[in-house]
Structure 1
Amino acid sequence: MTGATGQDGSYLVERLLAEGVVVHGTVRPGDEVPVGVGWTPHAVDLADRDGLRALVLRLAPDEVYNLGGISSVARSWAEPEATAELSGLAPLALLDAALAVQDASGRAVRVVQASSAEIFGHPDRVPQDESTPVAPRNPYGAAKAFAHHLAAVYRERGLHVASCVLFNHESPRRPETFVTRKITRGAARIARGLDDRLVLGNLAARRDWGWAPDYVDAMVRAARHDGAGDWVVATGRAHAVEDFVRAAFARAGIDDWERYVHVDTGLLRPGDAPELVGDPGRAERELGWTRTHDFEALVGAMVDHDLAVAGGAA
């Protein structure tokens, strides 16, 4: 898998190791990987497409999960070319190498492409499903859309490719650069008396937030499903960023969150979709996928983690 040390990758590694699967994962050259992790890291830059191809051809895996790449819409505006390289062209190298392994070995190779709700841009319908037009509005969405279309192209070539269109999914392992973790960490630190304000951007933006381990489960189910295809992975419910803030502060024991939250218009993103909410019906019916955490449980788990971290702070 690519992105083995990220939020989704770390949960997927744990899931596969628990099943007794031999796991190989890419890490960025220079990144530290803890000793005794139970899986084999390979220092390969996603921009090194020849290196990616060579690794897949050498390992000849049964399953390939592409979770790596630029994961932030904001960063994609700052680094559009790198976004195209890592989130668009790297999947092409992986798909082509997986097909080569399948052709050479005569056995099926199953690939999961971690797609994104951002491929829909400003969608023409709510909720969005597998038939919603792909019309991205930012470099991140455009790169993901390219890879999403490639999945269909290689599927026609006989490769089992599942493109999982993942809506927002969070956990305590989400980096602090993401707004959800920024909120839960900020609420926890304010509750502990370590900070006195939290600066955010668009509080009105509405997103469909789910629990990251649930979304990893959907990807594994998609990889092992009899038929390949596209799968929207979502909760079917949208909440505003303000709802997330209110829930996080309430969990931390603060009811008057407005005292502490300040809006900085400089944090507003161009082309930010007003509402992204997915219809997970197909994944539920055909993959047998279910969710374990609702919105309140998700926010609560993240805040509880950050309260514990803040409680140990100096």
Structure 2
Amino acid sequence: MKKALICGVSGQDGAYLAKLLLNKGYTVFGASRDAQMSSFGNLKRLGIYDDVKRVSISINDFRSVLQTLQRAKPDEIYNLAGQSSVGLSFEQPVETLESISVGTLNLLEAIRFTGLPIRFYNAGSSECFGDTGNVPADEQTPFRPRSPYGVAKAAAFWQVANYREAYQIYASTGILFNHESPLRPERFVTQKIVAAACRIAKGSRETLTLGNIDIARDWGWAPEYVEAMWLMLQQQNADDYVIATGKTHKLSRFIQVVFEAVELDWRQHVQTDPSFFRPTDIAEGYANPAKAKKQLNWEARCSMEDVGRMMVEEKMLAEI
């Protein structure tokens, strides 16, 4: 029976990944900064709270990381921890850099120090690429991040590459484009849109205020993306992969899909406010996930339209 340690198990990806690994027969250790105080609401929502062995770990503290690895002796580590909001990274740049970059470095160094044959997955981000115009980004596309979050993820990516080359550690980065689900908190714009649309459909007279709705992104379904994470660690050799649907849509189109799912015209309920714009933002994000399809045999099955409708259905059901 394989053992996996998921750092950041309480988040969207961590919870779905824990469920996937449990279904595959893994013993799953779910790490949180304070496992005794954390609510692990997403694990409870997925019905797996009692199946995950919850452990406390501060990934910014090397000693804490080392002790956890020596106790759990995992076969695989999935690093999904760290500040996860691009918008918030402009307000908390130091916390963002430390939680992502230093945390990743501590995990890699602890693997090297223990000498355990651990396979390591690092959660990268399409934010590393910045603006590539309308050219789809792949694994060879240069990084030019436009947010503190993107800078931190880029630093972590190169740390992983360095440890893989210098110490022959099995370490892979998944460069994931946007992926959503009902487990997203409302500080993420997709869930903010879904929640507002559902409230308005039930009689709320509010107007949804957003920033730039002309940005374009490649949106996928989170439960599919965690499958790609697992597949990366099952390959003979460690490598990095772009994970995306390969299709890009404007945020205004996502808004339209969501409001149509509740039989509303979004233009009557949505307004924009320039004060919500970020200091720098990526205008359009395009992805080329061909390598993942060829080497991992992974391909996104759900479209952006599917994602929007499924999020609405779940939200409406949850509030009945």
Q: Give me the TM-score of the superposition, normalised by structure 1.
A: 0.94
Of 9, 23, 36, which residue of structure 2 is paired with 1:4? 9
Who is 1:210 aligned against? 220
Measured against aligned partners, the alpha-carbon deviations of 1:185-238 in whole angstroms (never above 9, x if no partner) come to 111111111343111111000000000011100000001111111100011111
Aligned: 1:45 with 2:55: no
CA contact (8 A) 1:165 1:231 kept: yes
Q: Residue type of the partner of 2:28?
A: V
Alpha-carbon distance in 2 for matches of 1:308, 1:28: 32
| Aligned-partner SS, 1:24 | strand
CA contact (8 A) 1:209 1:235 kept: yes
Aligned: 1:117 with 2:126: yes
Of 7, 27, 31, which residue of structure 1 is paired with 2:32? 27
The CA deviation at 1:109 is 1.4
| Aligned-partner SS, 1:164 | strand
| Aligned-partner SS, 1:224 | coil
Unaligned 5+ segments in structure 2 are 1-5
Measured against aligned partners, the alpha-carbon deviations of 1:12-48 in whole angstroms (never above 9, x if no partner) come to 0001111110111211323124695211111223333
Alpha-carbon distance in 1 for matches of 2:290, 2:209: 36
Alpha-carbon distance in 1 for matches of 2:39, 2:193: 27
Aligned: 1:131 with 2:140: yes
The CA deviation at 1:291 is 1.8
CA contact (8 A) 1:52 1:94 kept: yes
Of 148, 151, 154, which residue of structure 2 is paired with 1:142? 151
The CA deviation at 1:294 is 1.1
| Aligned-partner SS, 2:138 | coil
CA contact (8 A) 1:123 1:133 kept: no
CA contact (8 A) 2:137 2:286 kept: yes
Of 111, 120, 123, which residue of structure 2 is paired with 1:98? 111
Who is 1:274 aligned against? 283
Of 73, 79, 89, which residue of structure 1 is paired with 2:102? 89
State percent identity of aligned pairs.
38
CA contact (8 A) 1:113 1:161 kept: yes
| Cα pair distance change 1:283/1:206, threshold 3 Å | same
The CA deviation at 1:124 is 5.7
The CA deviation at 1:250 is 0.4
The CA deviation at 1:264 is 1.4
CA contact (8 A) 1:57 1:98 kept: no
Who is 2:232 aligned against? 222
Alpha-carbon distance in 2 for matches of 1:124, 1:17: 40
| Cα pair distance change 1:230/1:266, threshold 3 Å | same
Alpha-carbon distance in 2 for matches of 1:125, 1:269: 21
| Cα pair distance change 1:294/1:124, threshold 3 Å | closer
| Cα pair distance change 1:217/1:195, threshold 3 Å | farther
Alpha-carbon distance in 1 for matches of 2:93, 2:228: 29
Unaligned 5+ segments in structure 1 are none
Q: Residue type of the partner of 1:49?
A: F
How many residues end up aligned between the 2 structures? 306
Who is 2:77 aligned against? 64
